[in-house]
Amino acid sequence: MTDISSAPEATTDTEMTTGVAQYLAPVVIDLNALALEGKQAHWHVRGPNFIGVHELLDTLVDHAREYGDTAAERIVAMGEELDARTATIAAKTSVPAVRSGFNQSEDFIADVIAGIDAALVTLRAAIEGLEEIDAVSQDLAIAITADLEKDRWFLFSHIAK
């Protein structure tokens, strides 16, 4: 039986791990911000299609948390540290805040879609930047993008004319 506790950690190229963290850390930041903003909208949404929008916002929040956790775990698995504390998220996110208080569903949907769009810009930058660095991390960013675009579509369909 091999004692894995004394086995060396997997070696990775420092440039690669730094690059993975450079491109995925902003993804983690934006997805965590999107989850917070989505939950704020979820609690305060009013008006037509209330239950549908309320539930879609909860789904988006769950996805954003899951995607952010997956990206964060990729960074840490590569041996890099990550700062995703609330102060860091507030200072570094590109996701705009949703409006405060109770608001009509179409207003919150527009706010949340703006947040999704900001996160998608960050994800596309990660996809492009990771292309030459790490295919596994790039595939992760691509999968998150596809799922987030689907969440966007579901929300947008509530306000599309």
From the list 112, 120, 123, the residue with the least C-alpha distance to 154 is 112
pLDDT per residue over 113-140, tens digit each? 999 999 999 999 999 999 999 999 999 9
Q: 């769950």: which residue's tokens?
A: 62
pLDDT at 13: 87
pTM for this one? Answer: 0.91
Q: What is the DSSP letter of 79?
A: T
- Contacts of residue 70, Cβ cutoff 8 Å, sequence gap at least 6: 140, 144
Q: Which of 140, 133, 144 is nearest to 20 (CA)?
A: 133
For residue 5, name the pLDDT band (cuts at 50, 70, 90).
low
Rounded to whole angstroms, the Cα distance separating 16 from 79 reads 11
Q: Sign of the CA dihedral 66, 141, 74, 29? A: negative
At 71-92, the pLDDT tens digits run: 999 999 999 999 999 999 999 9
Closest of 95, 91, 34, 21 to residue 68, by C-alpha: 34
CA neighbor of 60 nearest in space, from 111, 7, 132: 111
Model pLDDT for residues 29-68, shown as the tens digit of each residue? 999 999 999 999 999 999 988 999 999 999 999 999 999 9
- Enumerate the domain spans of the chain: 13-82+100-156
* 104: region left, alpha or beta (phi > 0 left; psi from -120 to 50 alpha): beta
Give the CATH superfamily of 13-82+100-156: Ferritin, core subunit, four-helix bundle (1.20.1260.10)
